[in-house]
Every structure is written in C-alpha cells, then in structure tokens.
Amino acid sequence: MANTSDFKNGLVIEFNGELFSIVEFQHVKPGKGPAFVRSKLKNLKTGKVIPNTFTAGVKINVERVERRSYQFLYSEGETMHFMNNESFEQTYIDRALIGKPADFLKEGQSVEILFHAETETPLTVDLPAYVVLEITYTEPGDKGNTATNTFKDATVETGATVKVPLFINTGELIKVDTRSGEYSERVKA
C-alpha cells in the first residue's frame, strides 16, 4: 500500500475498482484546512480522463504494469497479431483496445504494449506519435497550390483515409499524426 505522497505521472493505481494512470497531480496545502492532492486520472480501459481530489495521506493501491516492445505482424478481421521483440511470442489483441490509431499500423511496425503484471492482460497499445505512409490513391494534385487551407481525401497504404493538401499526389510519402489521424508533412523519399 502506498499513499498520495508516492504519486508521480504515469503511475497506475486501482481506483473505484478500475485501473487508472495518473496524468497529472498537484499537492495543495491551503492556509486553512487539511492538505489534499488534485489529480487527473486516465481510465486505461476507456481512455477517459477524469479529475479527482484525494485527501493527503490517503492509502492507494499501486498496480504493477510492464511496458514491452512488440512488432505488428498482421490483422485478421478484428484481431491484431503482435510479436514480442525479445521472446518472439505472439499476442493477439482486439482492434477495439487500440482504437482509431489501429488504422495507421503497418506490418513490421514497432509498438509498445502496456501489460498488467499480475494478470498478464494487455491494457494499452501505444503507437509512435508519427508514422510515414505512402499514398495509394488521391485525386491529381494542383501544382503550386500551397497557399490555401483546402484539403482533399487521400487513401494511405494501410487503407485509412487522411485529409491532405491539394498539392499531394499518389505515390508520395506523408507523415501522419497517429493521435489525431491528421496529415503533418510531406516526406521526401
């Protein structure tokens, strides 16, 4: 058992019967009354961030989690197959656990999977912040049309659709932000 003085960003705790990661926290000692800890907790199952206030010194259950490096192998329906980079064991994870960023997973790409140490269940799958993908289809580009903020749809090699500027053509490489799914920049080959 730990208490609120052990809080740090990224610490995983059990709260209300579910696992939460501490996103941020602040110890507050008002001039009058007891001290408390104001925090933001991210639910590892739903991804929702909630604010919560703990009384200073209250006992909390710290959960042991392990972050392991995996390689994405392939997707089969709603099941995604990953291989541990150290032991070469394969793990199967439901696409719903990854969410929207699963659309940007390329075969052979490295990811980090957070596991609950006692139950060996996967909690989250973290992709790199940016991935470089090739455009497989988009309408022909307008050469020199770089000054406007107009976008068109483009299909990338993973099958996802990304909004790109008008000057981007089929066959070009782009950098995509996996957190928002937005175009970041064109990559020179």
Domains identified in the chain, total number: 3
Q: In this predicted structure, what is the pLDDT of residue 100?
A: 81
Are 53 and 72 within one domain? no
CATH code of the domain containing 141: 2.40.50.140
Q: In this predicted structure, what is the pLDDT of residue 118?
A: 86
pLDDT in tens, 48-57: 899 999 998 8
pLDDT in tens, 3-57: 888 899 989 999 988 999 999 999 999 988 899 999 999 998 888 899 999 998 8
- The C-alpha torsion from 7 through 13 and 19 to 25, rounded to 10°, is -10
Are 14 and 52 within one domain? yes
Q: In this predicted structure, what is the pLDDT of residue 101?
A: 83
- Domain final position from 38, 62, 86: 62
Are 58 and 69 within one domain? no
- Domain final position from 96, 126, 156: 126
Are 36 and 25 within one domain? yes
Are 117 and 137 within one domain? no
CATH code of the domain containing 32: 2.30.30.30
Are 20 and 58 within one domain? yes
Are 142 and 100 within one domain? no
Are 138 and 108 within one domain? no
3-state secondary structure 104-124: HCCCCCEEEEEEECCCCCEEE
Which of the 8 DSSP states describes residue 169? Answer: -
pLDDT in tens, 95-149: 888 888 888 898 999 999 989 888 888 888 888 889 999 999 988 866 666 656 7
Q: In this predicted structure, what is the pLDDT of residue 13?
A: 92
Are 147 and 181 within one domain? yes
- Domain final position from 81, 100, 126: 126
Residue 85 confidence (pLDDT) above 80: yes
pLDDT in tens, 174-184: 999 988 889 98
Are 38 and 7 within one domain? yes
Give the residue among 184, 188, 168 at the shortest CA–CA distance from 176: 184
Are 121 and 139 within one domain? no
- Segments forming the whole domain that contains residue 163: 130-187
Name the 3-class secondary structure at 5: helix
What's the rounded mean pLDDT across residues 161-186? Answer: 89
Are 81 and 58 within one domain? no
